[in-house]
């Protein structure tokens, strides 16, 4: 989360520990609306919540119009058991774990340490010390101006009662020349030190990418994997415009068998991506639809058996192994390697069935 979380006068809150169904990949697009609907029961917000990835998972930053509403929301919602009735029953109605309780805190009160931002040299800035006691900023400008146009100067106190000055030049070349010329210069009985200034690196914007298993390049995928009778799902790409919604996909493929479920994929702007998972009532229906798409005269759409469905079945699937664990490596070691190589903040491999009633995941990164 950026520094925007602070300075809101106690009106900003951070929410975490959402129900599993809220943070499933197919539900992320409506997560802001769900959080907004929940919080607005306690008071009006200034705008939609902002979702970001923290070290502890997804979090939402929201601002109430009044600090009193923010405090009331925290008192009412923090620690609330977010489990469904079925989840409570499965746990024998035992008390929820901390991770199963909704977390809502005033943003200024959140105790998580802020990430340390890396620093870099400021190309057009130098720092000079120690200054003569009698010098003012106009004297500094006279000292620096022979090297190039000066944008600004700022005198600062440093250790041992001495003073230094930050000097920003109009160009990096002027700053470099000044650093060379002033460092070690004797001035009024003292030897000047001059170094380039440092500044924080620009914060990198947080971006979240979601890719489904069948979208990934699979150069080593075995080509001859016989489908089993419980293979009922196909992955279709290059769908025509008329199949840009669930009804269109059902109409396109419904002639080949009874369609059970349709899951449309969307691009980052939430537009139809021309791809869909289509699950049929039976293996034979799915096989007929697969062959029909493959043998279509126009050849526009493409179809294959769903690798996601096979991965979901684990050792019962066509490959006879736990695909999720195999891809993740022991304790997520492979994910961590990929995460480090890609300089990503985090990487998660998750398997969710279309009806979103259960999921499993492995994590990599911090």
In this predicted structure, what is the pLDDT of residue 4? 33
In this predicted structure, what is the pLDDT of residue 284? 93
In this predicted structure, what is the pLDDT of residue 1? 26
Q: What secondary structure letter does DSSP report for 362?
A: E
Phi first, then psi, for residue 271 (nearest 5°) are -95, 150
Q: In the β-sheet with 302-305, what is the strand arrangement from edge to edge?
A: 259-266, 272-280, 233-237, 302-305
Question: Digits of tens for pLDDT over the chain (366 positions)?
Answer: 223 333 345 788 999 988 888 887 677 778 888 899 899 888 899 888 888 776 667 888 999 988 888 888 888 888 888 787 788 788 887 888 887 888 998 886 444 445 556 778 999 999 999 999 899 999 999 999 999 999 999 998 887 788 999 999 999 999 999 999 999 999 988 899 999 998 888 766 666 667 777 887 766 665 556 788 888 999 999 999 998 899 999 999 998 889 999 988 888 777 888 999 999 999 999 999 999 998 887 767 889 888 888 777 766 766 666 766 777 777 777 778 877 777 776 676 665 544 433 333 344 444
Query: Distance (Å, rounded) from C-alpha 160 to C-alpha 116?
Result: 28
- Structure tokens of 16? 């975490």
In this predicted structure, what is the pLDDT of residue 220? 61
Question: Quick one: which of 200, 212, 259 has its CA closest to 237?
Answer: 212
Q: Could you give the C-alpha distances from 285 to 97, 257, 294, in angstroms and in order?
A: 43, 4, 14
Residue whose entry in the numeric block shows the structure tokens 């200054």:
131
DSSP string for 36-91: HHHHTTTS-BSS--EEEEETTEEEEEEEBSSHHHHHHHHHHHTT-B---HHHHHHT
Question: Quick one: which of 355, 363, 310 has its CA closest to 86?
Answer: 355
Q: Could you give the C-alpha distances from 146 to 123, 142, 177, 296, in angstroms and in order?
A: 18, 8, 10, 76
331's torsion region: left (phi>0), alpha (psi -120 to 50) or beta?
left
In this predicted structure, what is the pLDDT of residue 71? 85
Q: How far is CA 128 from the centre of its chain?
A: 41
User: Which residue ranges form the domains of the chain, and what is each CATH number?
Assistant: 7-109 (3.30.70.330), 119-200 (3.30.70.330), 222-361 (3.30.70.330)
Question: Quick one: which of 306, 296, 314 has its CA closest to 276?
Answer: 306
Strand pairing of 50-54 and 57-63? antiparallel
Query: Distance (Å, rounded) from C-alpha 269 to C-alpha 238?
Result: 18
pTM: 0.45
Q: How far is CA 37 from the centre of its chain?
A: 22
Query: Distance (Å, rounded) from C-alpha 336 to C-alpha 359?
Result: 21
Those residues with Cβ within 8 angstroms of residue 166's Cβ, 6 or more apart along the chain or in another chain: 125, 126, 127, 152, 153, 154, 156, 197
Question: Quick one: which of 273, 250, 261 has its CA closest to 312?
Answer: 261
- Structure tokens of 351? 């398997």
């Amino acid at each position: 989360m950026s520094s925007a979380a602070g300075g809101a006068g106690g009106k900003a809150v951070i929410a975490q520990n959402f129900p599993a169904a809220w943070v499933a990949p197919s539900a992320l697009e409506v997560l802001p609306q769900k959080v907004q609907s929940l919080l607005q029961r306690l008071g009006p917000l200034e705008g939609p919540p902002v979702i970001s990835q923290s070290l502890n998972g997804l979090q939402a930053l929201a601002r109430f119009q009044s600090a009193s509403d923010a405090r009331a929301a925290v008192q009412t919602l923090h620690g609330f058991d977010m489990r469904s009735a079925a989840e409570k029953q499965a746990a024998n109605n035992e008390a929820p774990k901390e991770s199963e309780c909704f977390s809502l805190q005033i943003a200024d009160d959140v105790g998580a340490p802020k990430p340390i931002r890396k620093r870099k040299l400021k190309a057009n800035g130098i720092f000079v010390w120690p200054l003569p006691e009698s010098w003012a900023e106009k004297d500094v400008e006279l000292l620096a101006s022979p090297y190039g146009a000066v944008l600004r100067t700022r005198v600062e106190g440093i250790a041992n009662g001495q003073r230094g000055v930050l000097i920003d030049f109009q160009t990096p070349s002027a700053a470099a020349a000044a650093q060379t010329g002033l460092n070690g210069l004797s001035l009024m009985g003292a030897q000047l030190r001059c170094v380039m200034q440092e500044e924080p690196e620009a914060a990198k914007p947080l971006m979240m990418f979601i890719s489904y298993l069948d979208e990934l390049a699979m150069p080593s995928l075995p080509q001859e994997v016989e489908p089993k009778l419980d293979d009922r799902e196909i992955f279709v790409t290059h769908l025509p415009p008329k199949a840009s919604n669930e009804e269109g996909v059902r109409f396109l493929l419904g002639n080949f068998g009874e369609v059970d479920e349709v899951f449309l994929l969307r691009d980052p702007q939430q537009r139809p991506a021309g791809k869909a998972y289509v699950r049929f009532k039976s293996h034979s229906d799915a096989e007929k639809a697969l062959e029909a798409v493959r043998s279509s005269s126009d050849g526009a759409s493409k179809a294959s058996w769903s690798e996601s469905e096979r991965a979901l079945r684990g050792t019962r699937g066509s490959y006879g192994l736990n695909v999720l664990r195999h891809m993740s490596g022991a304790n997520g070691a492979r994910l961590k390697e990929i995460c480090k190589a890609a300089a990503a903040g985090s990487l998660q491999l998750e398997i969710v069935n279309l009806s979103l009633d259960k999921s499993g995941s492995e994590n990599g990164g911090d």
